[in-house]
Amino acid sequence: MKDIFIDGPVPPAMIAESIQQHSRKLNIGAHSIFLGQVRNDQVDDATVTAIEYTTYKEMALQQMHVIREHIITKYQLTCMHVYHSVGVVQAGEICLFVFTSSPHRKAAIAACEETVERMKAELPIWGKEQLSNASIQWKQNS
């Protein structure tokens, strides 16, 4: 089972490397990439400076496997790569990287969007927001 979790932020170089690695797969016509970045949300008089992510890892990996298999089949993807941060990610850094590849663009784009939505809804991952006034707040997805 693939481990989607990496410690800390997704380094920008990882995205470039993923693109480079896929140039060998000559049946791919489209990649769709989603990047989630930690945003400096305003909370009263403070701002979010970082998010600390935790996960129920074994359950998350099991559920991600279900999501992956479903979406690869549904959209006939060539491949899919997903990375989610655990630990602290500063505002401005990347915490989620979803990369879907297909012979054609519509499948890649639709698959990427559906993957992001399903991950946010179905994976046991939690974010604890660190605020500029040294307090914390648990993130709530919308």
CB of 107 to another protein, least distance (A): 22
Query: Is residue 111 a contact residue for another protein (CB under 8 A)?
Result: no
Strand pairing partners for 137?
129
How far apart are the C-alpha atoms of 138 and 112, rounded to whole Å? 26
Q: Which is nearer to another protein, 21 or 54 (CB)?
A: 54
Q: What's the sign of the alpha-carbon dihedral 14, 91, 39, 129?
A: positive
Query: Is residue 23 a contact residue for another protein (CB under 8 A)?
Result: no
Query: Is residue 2 a contact residue for another protein (CB under 8 A)?
Result: no
Q: Which is nearer to another protein, 78 or 85 (CB)?
A: 85
93 token code pair = 């850094």
Q: Which stretch binds another protein (CB under 8 A): 15-23, 67-75, 106-114, 125-133?
A: 125-133
Query: Is residue 123 a contact residue for another protein (CB under 8 A)?
Result: yes
Q: How buried is 93 (Cβ within 10 angstroms: 0-12 exposed, 13-18 middle, 19+ buried)?
A: middle
Q: Which is nearer to another protein, 22 or 118 (CB)?
A: 118
SS3 assignment, position 111:
helix
